[in-house]
Chain A
């Protein structure tokens, strides 16, 4: 149980275009979802936290108009990178947390590799 999926697993896009990444909790209801960014050989950097039905809370230094997060249902959150540039190329990872017991833990998705040309 507690499986989180991401789609796509990798994407290549041209500079200036927008890219949407989906994060789904497959077998539990995720009251909270988190989006991280990870550069090569570095740790995970939290970008934002989103609770179902409410606006995301962004970490300091993360542009909310550039990284649009929508948590429309208890099983789906999306991250849209708007007007992507090469410096946005990174590994984007989501995690999901349910409510109560072991589901208080964060379960991570497999990640999405974004390359902006």
Chain B
């Protein structure tokens, strides 16, 4: 019940296309859903996060869509660029982020020029 399932494991998108990564969770106590971007040899960096009181959050080219009833959330990267090539992790936490983060398995995104 503590798991967060992420798909796909890897994704190849053409430059300018839309990259979509999906996550699903079981624990209804989760109320904070961040996405992290990690480049090789670096620590993860917070990209965007959402709380369940909204169904969508957009920051620049990055959008999180959240479906509370389905217990699913997804990351959309619009106009994907080669510089977006990285590994992306979704995560979930309870108590507004005060509890520990549970990470998805990660998605290796490659944007072809």
A interface residues, Cβ below 8 angstroms from B? 4, 6, 34, 41-44, 46, 49, 91, 93, 95, 97, 104-111, 113
Q: Which residues of chain B (32-87) have a CB below 8 Å from chain A? A: 34, 36, 41-46, 49
User: How far is A41 from B89 in the complex, measured between Cα atoms in Å?
Assistant: 12
Given A105-B49, A110-B43: A43 in contact with B100 (beta carbons within 8 A): no
Asked if B103 and A106 sit within 8 Å, CB to CB, the answer is: no
User: A104 touches which one: B36, B43, B45, B97 (CB < 8 A)?
Assistant: B97
User: How far is A6 from B101 in the complex, measured between Cα atoms in Å?
Assistant: 20
User: How far is A111 from B87 in the complex, measured between Cα atoms in Å?
Assistant: 15
Given A105-B49, A108-B43, A108-B44: A44 in contact with B97 (beta carbons within 8 A): no
User: Which residues of B are found within 8 Å of A105, using beta-carbon distances?
Assistant: 34, 46, 49, 97
Residue from A46, A91, A97, A108 whose CB has the most chain B CB atoms within 10 Å = A108
Asked if A106 and B43 sit within 8 Å, CB to CB, the answer is: no
Asked if B42 and A111 sit within 8 Å, CB to CB, the answer is: yes
Closest A residue to B89 by CB, please name it. Answer: A43
Q: Which residues of chain B (4-36) have a CB below 8 Å from chain A? A: 34, 36
Q: With A6-B43, A105-B34, A109-B43 given, can you name 18 additional A-B contacts, CB distance below 8 Å?
A: A34-B100, A41-B108, A43-B103, A43-B104, A44-B89, A93-B43, A95-B43, A104-B96, A104-B97, A104-B98, A106-B101, A107-B46, A108-B43, A108-B45, A108-B46, A110-B43, A111-B42, A111-B43
User: B100 touches which one: A4, A49, A104, A107 (CB < 8 A)?
Assistant: A49
Give how many B residues have a beta carbon under 8 Å from the other chain's beta carbons: 20
User: How far is A34 from B42 in the complex, measured between Cα atoms in Å?
Assistant: 16
A56 to chain B, nearest CB (A): 12
User: How far is A41 from B40 in the complex, measured between Cα atoms in Å?
Assistant: 10
Closest A residue to B99 by CB, please name it. Answer: A49
User: How far is A6 from B12 in the complex, measured between Cα atoms in Å?
Assistant: 32
B11 to chain A, nearest CB (A): 14
